[in-house]
Amino acid sequence: MAISASMVKELREKTNAGMMDCKKALLEADGDMDTAFDLLRKRGLDIAAKKSSRATKEGVIGSYIHSNGKIGVLVEVSCETDFVAKNEEFKEFVKDLTLQVASAFPQYLSREEVPEKIIAKEKEIYSEQVKGKPENIIDKIVEGKLEKFYKQVCFVDQLFVKDDKKTINDLLKEKIAKLGENMAIKRFVRFQVGE
């Protein structure tokens, strides 16, 4: 099937993928726009993994103040170029992250930041809760409970408040694939009156 320039342009606008990548995907999909879109998305996640080693020295700090003025959030998200930092989709992504912090109240950026002392205490509590169960399943239950703990307190492991089918880390990988640059959520802070 012949692939027209307008088809390539349309797919490029939907995905932000390179022209040649769009043309190749359309050829593989026999001109089917949806199939080509899915192919690029699948490849995009591979691209995201490859881009993760590249330096992120640009970016923005997003802010959110709740309408009652009692909750405030700052989130720093970095990217490779100021071109992406000024992109509307990138800015919308950062805004979504500020809303996530305001509503889901993460305590750590990632599980690597959770102090070993906290993890040990959680494991101790979970072990106490399952006392009396067969030895061979206690460790599995404790690990399962610890995984749920991470999903509550670690920002990148939390389910996205606007789409509970994906985590913040999944969302980050999607944006890396779509915008074509490495990105990183560097840090966040949440303020609440009275805390």
Tens digits of residue pLDDT in 31-47: 888 888 777 777 665 55
Q: How many CB atoms lie within 10 A of CB 67?
A: 6
Q: Check residue 46 and give its pLDDT.
A: 58
Whole-model pTM: value is 0.70
DSSP-assigned states of every residue in the chain: -PPPHHHHHHHHHHH---HHHHHHHHHHTTT-HHHHHHHHHHHHHHHHHHHTTS---EEEEEEEE-TTSSEEEEEEEEES-HHHHT-HHHHHHHHHHHHHHHHH--SBSSGGGS-HHHHHHHHHHHHHHTTTS-HHHHHHHHHHHHHHHHHHHBGGGSEETTEEEEEHHHHHHHHHHHHTS-EEEEEEEEEETT-
Q: Check residue 134 and give its pLDDT.
A: 83
Domains in the chain, start-ordered, CATH in brackets? 5-51 (1.10.8.10), 58-109+154-192 (3.30.479.20), 115-153 (1.10.286)
The C-alpha atoms of residue 94 and residue 61 are separated, in whole angstroms, by 8
The candidate with the shortest Cα–Cα distance to 113, out of 161, 155, 57, is 155
Confidence of residue 147 (pLDDT cuts 50, 70, 90): very high
Percent of the chain exceeding pLDDT 70 equals 89
Q: Check residue 16 and give its pLDDT.
A: 60
Q: Check residue 98 and give its pLDDT.
A: 97
| Amino acid at site 151 | K
Mean pLDDT score across all residues of the chain: 86
70-115 pLDDT per residue, tens? 999 999 999 988 888 899 999 999 999 999 999 999 999 999 999 9
Q: Check residue 45 and give its pLDDT.
A: 54
What is the bridge-based pairing of β-strands 71-79 and 159-160? unpaired
